[in-house]
Chain A
Amino acid sequence: MELTRRDAAAALAAIGATGGVALGVRRATDDRGRPGDGEADAAWDGEGAPDDEAVREAMTAAARVLYPEEVSGIDAFVDRFLDGRLDGSAHAEGVRAAVAEVESAARSWYDAPVAELSAAERDDLLRELGADTAEEDPGGTAAERVRFFVVNELLLALYSSPTGGELVGIENPQGYAGGAESYQEGPR
């Protein structure tokens, strides 16, 4: 199943981000190579707070292991979702800080940015950070913050979208304003 522009808009709507406006503006960076294609952002060297492009690349790389195999369109989906989420809010700063934690670990333990790791390495990295067993907490330990701002951020985006819901068998998942008709309909 392919994640679409509508899915990104729905995911943003579920959390009240300002992506409805942002999605109307096509970013110049949309057309360039995406993480995983061997083109990590050269503008950020792993020190200090990552810029938006570094956040996008790391989050997209994470999404590729967090999302199931049968989902496509991940790059554009995450990119568009972050258009609305990286909005200068405290939450956006939390995402940046958590991505910095992930990048720092990647460079220390694997000598490479997250986007340049293999899928297995990215999976291992997130688990070695403790983000698999940690409970989300925006003010907690590094593992809990990565769980909140990276892992659950991306899982919330996917599974509150119509395509993410349909993967599970519910075309109107909680958080998606899918109307008041689907609950009346039988199995499809």
Chain B
Amino acid sequence: MSGAESVGDGRSGAEGGAGEEVDRTPVPDADVCVVGAGPAGALVADRLAGDRDVVVLDAGPRFDPADRLARQERAIRPFYGRPDVWGVGGARDAHENAGDWFYPLNHARVKGVGGSTLHWQGMVMRLHEDDFNSGTERGVGPDWPIDYADLRPYYAEAEKELGVAGASDNPYAPPREEPHPMPAFEPSYSDSLFAEACEELGIDMHSVPNARNSEPYDDRSPCVGYGTCQPVCPSGAKYDATVHVERAEEKGATVVDRAPVERLEHDGDDRVTAAVYATPDGERHRQEADAFVVAAGGVETPRLLLLSASDRYPDGLANGSGHVGEFFMDHLFAGAGGTLDEETRQNHVGFYTSACDQFYDEADAEQAPFKLEFFNYAGPSPVEMALTGDDWGDPLLERLRDGYGNHIAMGGLVEQAPRADSRITLADDRTDDRGNPVPQMEWTVGDRALDTIERANEIQVEILEELGADVEWVAGPDATGPAYHHMGTTRMSDDPDSGVVDADCRTHDLDNCWIASSSVFPTSGAMNPTLTIAALALRVADDVDARLSEGT
């Protein structure tokens, strides 16, 4: 660890300085250059590192594991916003919004080694079989060029790599051969309250897979209940991609932090030749390699391709289709909550233990797939509540007792259909700290998703009312927001005119360039994307390895 990144008291932008002694010069004779040290890049690097010379370039810093508790303090104290927890913000992470919907990009990502798995909640479901054939089965969006069966073995591997606690009690989940690596977390007390209401209504509850240790796994602690999973797990029980970054380094991979890749260069044979990156000392370097894997997420991946425009690719690298940046999707939140006349035992942990996929596969052209979540963190956290307000002593304690104890809530995620006018482009007149155009978000959501949010709300309110809750809020179409799942901006397709990468996630235009990211999702489904990102990354690594062996 460089140790240069610090968690001081002030609000932080892009953290770290340029003074430390770290070799950020290119690795000679590299086989594979991976851009991005989030989950996809880390898994690709780890999978290839034993047999190949791998170098990983990441725009952000390495975060010192010793700082995680201090980051937890930031997560709790009201002064700090979410971007402050992991040092997001400032000129490095500037961006523009130009769409119908505002997108809080710097709340939605972590830039640095580990990527956004550092602040994710850790929910890991497989996409359903129909999600891969949405056009055929639901009449919305394209089919993926691969099926669930193509990804099924990689899903199993991804579950082992991340360490997933789950159970085979979900009758709506796609088929699987083997149990999860760890037993599921036991249901919460409030799950038992929901269960009675759901039984009355004929609604099924089941466990939910967590990339979070329910028992010691992979030399990491089981969950100890810090309750701040999102945005930081101090115990290491929640998987993050530093696990595979470190494993890749142990196998010989080189990881260079604070090395934003500014462009990819190519030759006349449509092969990427180098990643041009900057370092904190103001230098620029060229990392050459035989193969390149872009794993920079759903926003920075299209941005990098667009920044890499050349005479041959005037609209951006790998953009012969013209679709780079288009079809930006996120999952839409639907929720409802209120209070009961009894204790509900919330905020002991920061994750949920039960879900409902019962309505997921009712999806068609009018109704999007959606899933329901039974929260364990409804209402205020007393410790956070104590740090706001103008009272202390006995009046504060009385307020905390009045405010905590009987909240209950449900959430849910809804699929957003892909549309070309929901997209990432380059801003015309705003640049980052290196002088490169920043990403411009144009997030546009269609009526199918909004109507589906209303449908999800109806079920949620019905359950809460069956419970006897006083429903106090509903997050419907007018109050929805993104789940911070960036998808779709370099979509996968068999037809080079219809997408950016092929079924192997290799770019149609450049033979030695792959994309490992949710940016390749043609449609999004409504399941949290990271397990699918991981499965695709493992598959990408196998394809890179095979093609390097073949010399193609």
B284 at the interface (CB under 8 A from A): no
B549 nearest CB across to chain A (Å): 44
On whether the beta carbons of A123 and B69 are closer than 8 Å, the reply is no
On whether the beta carbons of B349 and A175 are closer than 8 Å, the reply is no
A78 nearest CB across to chain B (Å): 14
A90 at the interface (CB under 8 A from B): yes
Residues of the B chain whose Cβ atoms lie less than 8 Å from the Cβ of A16: 66-73, 234
Interface size class of B (residues with CB under 8 A): 35 or more
Give chain B interface residues in 10-39, CB to chain A under 8 Å. Answer: 10
B341 nearest CB across to chain A (Å): 12
Residue tally, chain A, CB below 8 Å to B: 52
Residues of the A chain whose Cβ atoms lie less than 8 Å from the Cβ of B382: 159, 165, 168-170, 173-174
**A-B contacts, 10 listed (Cβ < 8 Å):** A13-B69, A15-B70, A15-B72, A16-B71, A69-B394, A132-B392, A139-B9, A152-B77, A174-B228, A186-B345
On whether the beta carbons of A168 and B188 are closer than 8 Å, the reply is no
B389 nearest CB across to chain A (Å): 9
On whether the beta carbons of A174 and B384 are closer than 8 Å, the reply is yes
On whether the beta carbons of B225 and A177 are closer than 8 Å, the reply is yes
Q: A156-B77, A168-B401, A170-B382 are in contact. Are A183 and B394 (CB under 8 A)?
A: no
On whether the beta carbons of A170 and B72 are closer than 8 Å, the reply is no
Give chain B interface residues in 381-425, CB to chain A under 8 Å. Answer: 381-384, 386-388, 390-394, 396-397, 400-401, 404-405
On whether the beta carbons of B348 and A175 are closer than 8 Å, the reply is no
On whether the beta carbons of B72 and A180 are closer than 8 Å, the reply is no
B224 at the interface (CB under 8 A from A): yes
Residues of the A chain whose Cβ atoms lie less than 8 Å from the Cβ of B343: 169, 186-187
Q: Which 5 A-B pairs have the closest CB atoms?
A: A16-B69, A183-B348, A138-B9, A177-B224, A174-B227
Closest residue of chain B to A138 (Cβ to Cβ) is B9
Q: A69-B393, A184-B188 are in contact. Are A177 and B72 (CB under 8 A)?
A: no
**Within the assembled complex, what's the spacing in Å between the Cα atoms of A175 and B383?**
8
A48 at the interface (CB under 8 A from B): no
On whether the beta carbons of B77 and A183 are closer than 8 Å, the reply is no
On whether the beta carbons of A174 and B226 are closer than 8 Å, the reply is yes
A172 at the interface (CB under 8 A from B): yes
Q: A135-B78, A155-B387, A159-B382 are in contact. Are A175 and B214 (CB under 8 A)?
A: no
Residues of the A chain whose Cβ atoms lie less than 8 Å from the Cβ of B50: none
B273 at the interface (CB under 8 A from A): no
Q: A16-B69, A138-B79, A174-B76 are in contact. Are A151 and B392 (CB under 8 A)?
A: yes
Residues of the A chain whose Cβ atoms lie less than 8 Å from the Cβ of B72: 14-16, 175
Closest residue of chain A to B227 (Cβ to Cβ) is A174
Q: Return the CB mask of A4-32 against B: 1 if under 8 Å, else 0.
A: 00000000011111000000000000000
A110 nearest CB across to chain B (Å): 19
Residues of the B chain whose Cβ atoms lie less than 8 Å from the Cβ of A169: 343, 382, 401, 404-405
Which one of B71, B222, B384 contacts A180 once the chains associate, using CB atoms below 8 Å? B222
B394 nearest CB across to chain A (Å): 5
Residues of the A chain whose Cβ atoms lie less than 8 Å from the Cβ of B67: 16
Which one of A65, A175, A183 contacts B376 once the chains associate, using CB atoms below 8 Å? A183
A65 nearest CB across to chain B (Å): 6
